[in-house]
Amino acid sequence: MTTIKDIAKAAGVTIATVSRALNNEPGVNELTRSKIVALANELNYIPNFAAKRLVNKRSNCIGIIWHGARGLFFSHWCNSLQKRADQRGFSTMISLAHPDKAIRQFSEHFIDRLIFWSSPGLPLSLSFLQQKEKFAGSMLVMGGNVLENAHRIGIDRKGAIFKAVQHLAEFGHRSIAFIGQDEEKLSGFMHGLLEFQLSYHPDFIIHYPRPSSLPEAKLLALIGKKPQERPTAFVLDSHGVLFEFNKIVRKQQVRIPEQFSVVVYDSIPEMEQVFDIPLTTVGPNIEQLTEAALDILTGDQPDAFQGRWVDMNVESELTVRESVLRPENRS
């Protein structure tokens, strides 16, 4: 591996001069600088970031801790963050390890900016909290959990599902079913029913715990009801639930939206392709979410955040596509 030493030797200068030349620092004449840059290219020099971090005690890298991450949202969010961080001169590193291990590993690599994804109410281990106390950089918690001495960006899941119910109510739906696993989203659904005075049927709510699968029998019973007794629309609380829902209703040759309208939580591009028609979705805008995170962590607004922890919620937005019809237009 070529080091700054090799370039210095080849250029006939000291390593400090090479360092200045390659970092565009003043104090090196242009002729020497271009000679050094040419040699660095020729010798395929790649800066040793471990050594840089050793000196600076910081890195332009954002660590992401997302234990047990899976699914499309994770993939889109990471892609968006990586792209936008790159535009700001930052790189990203992801750890899927246990949070206490991940925080320690990032510290060992002098990574001093962390994003910690954690679902609301997820218990945090004592060893994680101890590692968090020792961590000297800034941490941003996303996903709903709350942590002392850390920035927080929350997602208004309850408000998102409320918006979905509102949209369906405005289209004239009175009998809406909810399928999902998230308490907060179910609470948003119930709030919507109350607010818009929609009919409540306990069997219209299929709420099942993670990580079990959608109870097929319950869904089949629901869609098998007489037309006047069954729901006219479904609110699905994640793209994971949608895929399970899709698998079951396709077997029954159910047509969306001719027989049932559907609104799904998770604003990801795949929602345009799961069914024959693009799905109406509700959820946080991924680009907005990553931009807000980078504003906090890359210090683009240093005065705004100095000395205090940011605590904000990102609103969800409804993207109207083609999966909702008025009930009277159903077949």
Partner DNA sequence: CTGCGTGTCCCTGGACTGGA
Partner DNA sequence: TCCAGTCCAGGGACACGCAG
Q: Which residue in 10, 13, 72, 248 binds DNA (CB under 7 A)? A: 13
- Part of the chain binding DNA (CB under 7 A), chosen from 45-53, 121-129, 245-253, 263-271: 45-53
Residue 51 contacts DNA per CB under 7 A = yes
- Part of the chain binding DNA (CB under 7 A), chosen from 14-22, 173-181, 248-256, 268-276: 14-22
Distance (Å, whole) CA 264 – CA 238: 6
Q: Which residue in 9, 10, 22, 60 binds DNA (CB under 7 A)? A: 22
Distance (Å, whole) CA 102 – CA 116: 10
Q: Which residue in 34, 47, 220, 312 binds DNA (CB under 7 A)? A: 47
CB of 26 to DNA, least distance (A): 7
- Cβ 183 vs Cβ 157: under 8 Å: no
Q: Which residue in 24, 41, 44, 55 binds DNA (CB under 7 A)? A: 55
Q: Which residues contact 57 (CB under 8 A, 6 or more apart)?
A: 110
Distance (Å, whole) CA 298 – CA 301: 8
Residue 15 contacts DNA per CB under 7 A = yes
Size of the site for DNA (CB under 7 A): 28
Residue 27 contacts DNA per CB under 7 A = yes
Of the two residues 25 and 258, which places its CB atom closer to DNA in the complex? Answer: 25
Residue 14 contacts DNA per CB under 7 A = yes
Q: Which residue in 34, 48, 125, 213 binds DNA (CB under 7 A)? A: 48
Q: Which residues contact 183 (CB under 8 A, 6 or more apart)?
A: none
CB of 36 to DNA, least distance (A): 9
CB of 59 to DNA, least distance (A): 12
CB of 107 to DNA, least distance (A): 9
Neighbours of 125 (CB within 10 A): 11
Q: Which residue in 9, 10, 19, 104 binds DNA (CB under 7 A)? A: 19
Residue 60 contacts DNA per CB under 7 A = no
Footprint of DNA on residues 88-147 (CB under 7 A)?
Answer: 108
Distance (Å, whole) CA 250 – CA 276: 11
Three-state SS for 80-110 is: HHHHHHHHCCCEEEEECCCHHHHHHHHHHCC
CB of 46 to DNA, least distance (A): 8
Residue 16 contacts DNA per CB under 7 A = yes
Q: Are strands 233-236 and 261-265 parallel, antiparallel or unpaired?
A: parallel
- Any idea which residue has 């994804």 for tokens? 117
Residue 38 contacts DNA per CB under 7 A = no
Task: By CB under 7 A, name the binding residues for DNA.
Answer: 1, 3-5, 12-17, 19-20, 22-23, 25-29, 32, 47-48, 51-52, 54-56, 108
